[in-house]
C-alpha cells in the first residue's frame, strides 16, 4: 500500500523489469521490453484501468506509466501480477535540475517526515549531468535539514527510519519513498511459446502451468474431467479465473474432455484395475495428440503437475513412469516444474497466486494398489481400441471460454 499521505500525490508508476531481461542480448531485450509493455497495456485495459501515457526512460532501464492520482494504487495492485517485472515505485517526476530536485524532494518529505525522525537519501544517476550523485545528496540533504529545523531531524545512512529515493535519469528525475517488489519477476508472456497444461483437477496441475507462464509461456489448458460433477466443475473454472487475472488476453480458452465418458466405454471390460491410473494417463496423451493435430497453432510442449509429495490419488511411481510412454502419442517435451518442490513450497506458491484457489475431489475412481509395467500397460491400452472410442471426439471435447467484455 502507498503511504496514505502520498496516495493522492504521485502520478507516475516507475516500473523496473526483471534483471533476466536486462541480461539478454540487445535484440532480445528490445523484443521482450516491447512485449512487456504490450502485456501491461492489455491487462490495464482488461482491468478497466486508464493511464494517460507511457514511455521508456532515456536509458531504457525504466518503463513509466502516468496515471491520475486516484488510480495509482489500483495500478500497483495490477502490476504486481504481471510477469517480467522486478519492482515498481509510485513516484513524482521533475526536471534534472538540482534546485527542482531539491524543491520536489522537500515536497515529498513534508508528507512523510515526523519530529525526531532519522532519514536518508538513496540516489541513483544515469546520463550526462554537471553534477554527481554525491552532489545531489549533499545539496538536497542540507536543504531538507534546513527546511525542517523544527523537526530536529537526523541523517542516518545506515538504518534510517525514513528513506527518500531519487533517480536522476537523463532530463528527468523521479522521487519516491517505496520500492515494491513484485511477487513473480520472470519473463513476459510471449506468443510463440505455446504450452498445453494437462489438468485433471489437481491444484498442482494449475501451478505447473502457472510456473511455465512465469517463464514467458502462453497456456492452453486441457481439463480432463473424471467426475462429471457440476459443483466440482464450477470450482475448477473459478480456479482458472484466478489464473486468467495474470493473462494478457481478453479471452482464455479451456478445452474440457469428458474423461469419465471415455472410461465408461471400457471400464467393465478392464480386468486388471491396477493399471487404471496408467491407462488414464495414456488416454490423456492420446487426446492431447488429437487436439494438437486439429489446432492451427504450433504447440511447443506440455506441462504436468506430477510431484513426489503424495498429493495425487495416483501413486508417484505411476505418475512418473507413465510420462516415459508419451512418445507413443506425442513428439513434444513434458515439463514437470513441481518435481523439485516440497509440499510446503507448492502450497506457498498457490497462496501467492490467490487465496481463492479451491481443492477438488477430482477422481471418481480413486483406485488403490496401482501397478506399472510399461509393456503390459501398452498391451492393455492397444486392446481397448481407444482410437475407435475417440473417433467422434466432439462427444468428449468442448470449449469453455473465460472472457472479459471490453469497454
What is residue 328's predicted lDDT score, i.e. its pLDDT?
A: 93
- Residue 394's pLDDT band, with cuts at 50, 70 and 90, is low
* Fold adopted by 4-184: VC0802-like (3.30.2130)
> Would you say the C-alpha torsion 227, 229, 231, 233 has a positive or negative sign?
positive
* pLDDT in the model for residue 1: 62
Q: What HEC string does 349-384 produce?
A: HHHHHCCCCCCCCCECCCCCCCCCCHHHHHHHHHHC
Asked whether the predicted pLDDT for residue 270 surpasses 90, the reply is no
Q: Rounded to 5 degrees, what are φ and ψ at 225?
A: -90, 115
Q: Does the pLDDT at position 287 exceed 50?
A: yes
pLDDT confidence of residue 264 = 83
Q: pLDDT tens, 130-163?
A: 999 999 999 999 999 999 999 999 999 999 999 9
**Taking the domains of the chain in order of start, what are their residue ranges?**
4-184, 191-403
Contact call for residues 187 and 157 (beta carbons, < 8 A)? no
- Interval 336-346: pLDDT, tens: 999 989 999 99
Architecture of the CATH domain 191-403: 3-Layer(aba) Sandwich (3.40)
pLDDT of res. 368: 84
Q: Percent of the chain scored above 90 by pLDDT?
A: 75
Q: What is the pLDDT of residue 266?
A: 81
d(CA 321, CA 370): 12
Amino acid at each position: 500500500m502507498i503511504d496514505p499521505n502520498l496516495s493522492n500525490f504521485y502520478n507516475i508508476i516507475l516500473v523496473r523489469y526483471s534483471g533476466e531481461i536486462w541480461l539478454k542480448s540487445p535484440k532480445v531485450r528490445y523484443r521482450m521490453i516491447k512485449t512487456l509493455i504490450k502485456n501491461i497495456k492489455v491487462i490495464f485495459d482488461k482491468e478497466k484501468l486508464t493511464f494517460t501515457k507511457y514511455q521508456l526512460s532515456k536509458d531504457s532501464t525504466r518503463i513509466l506509466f502516468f496515471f491520475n492520482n486516484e488510480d495509482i494504487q489500483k495500478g500497483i495492485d495490477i502490476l504486481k501480477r504481471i510477469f517480467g517485472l522486478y519492482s515498481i515505485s509510485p513516484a513524482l517526476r521533475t526536471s534534472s535540475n538540482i534546485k527542482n530536485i531539491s524543491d520536489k524532494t522537500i515536497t515529498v518529505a513534508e508528507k512523510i517526515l515526523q519530529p525526531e525522525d532519522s532519514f536518508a537519501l538513496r540516489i541513483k544517476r544515469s546520463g550526462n549531468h554537471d553534477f554527481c550523485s554525491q552532489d545531489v545528496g549533499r545539496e538536497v540533504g542540507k536543504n531538507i535539514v534546513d527546511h525542517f529545523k523544527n523537526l530536529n531531524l537526523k541523517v542516518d545512512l545506515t538504518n534510517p527510519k525514513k528513506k527518500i529515493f531519487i533517480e536522476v535519469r537523463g532530463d528527468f528525475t523521479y522521487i519516491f519513498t517505496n520500492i515494491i517488489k513484485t511477487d513473480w519477476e520472470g519473463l513476459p508472456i510471449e506468443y510463440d511459446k505455446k504450452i498445453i497444461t494437462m489438468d485433471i483437477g489437481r491444484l498442482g496441475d494449475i501451478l505447473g502451468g502457472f510456473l511455465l507462464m512465469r517463464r514467458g509461456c502462453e497456456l492452453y489448458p486441457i481439463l480432463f474431467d473424471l467426475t462429471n460433477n457440476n459443483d466440482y466443475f464450477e470450482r475448477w473454472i473459478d480456479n482458472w479465473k484466478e489464473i486468467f487475472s495474470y493473462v494478457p488476453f481478453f479471452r482464455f480458452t479451456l478445452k474440457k474432455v469428458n474423461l469419465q465418458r471415455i472410461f465408461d466405454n471400457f471400464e467393465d471390460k478392464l480386468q486388471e484395475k491396477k493399471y487404471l491410473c496408467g491407462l488414464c494417463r495414456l488416454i490423456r496423451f492420446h487426446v492431447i495428440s488429437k487436439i494438437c493435430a486439429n489446432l492451427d497453432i504450433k504447440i511447443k510442449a506440455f506441462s504436468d503437475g506430477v510431484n513426489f509429495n503424495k498429493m495425487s490419488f495416483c501413486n508417484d511411481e505411476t505418475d512418473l513412469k507413465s510420462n516415459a510412454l508419451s512418445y507413443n502419442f506425442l513428439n513434444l517435451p513434458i515439463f514437470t516444474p513441481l518435481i523439485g518442490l516440497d509440499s510446503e513450497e507448492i502450497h506457498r506458491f498457490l497462496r501467492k497466486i490467490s487465496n481463492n484457489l479451491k481443492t477438488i475431489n477430482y477422481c471418481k475412481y480413486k483406485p488403490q494398489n496401482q501397478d506399472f509395467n510399461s509393456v503390459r500397460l501398452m498391451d492393455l491400452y492397444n486392446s481397448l481400441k481407444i482410437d475407435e472410442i475417440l473417433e467422434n471426439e466432439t462427444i468428449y471435447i468442448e470449449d469453455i471460454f473465460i472472457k472479459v467484455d471490453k469497454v
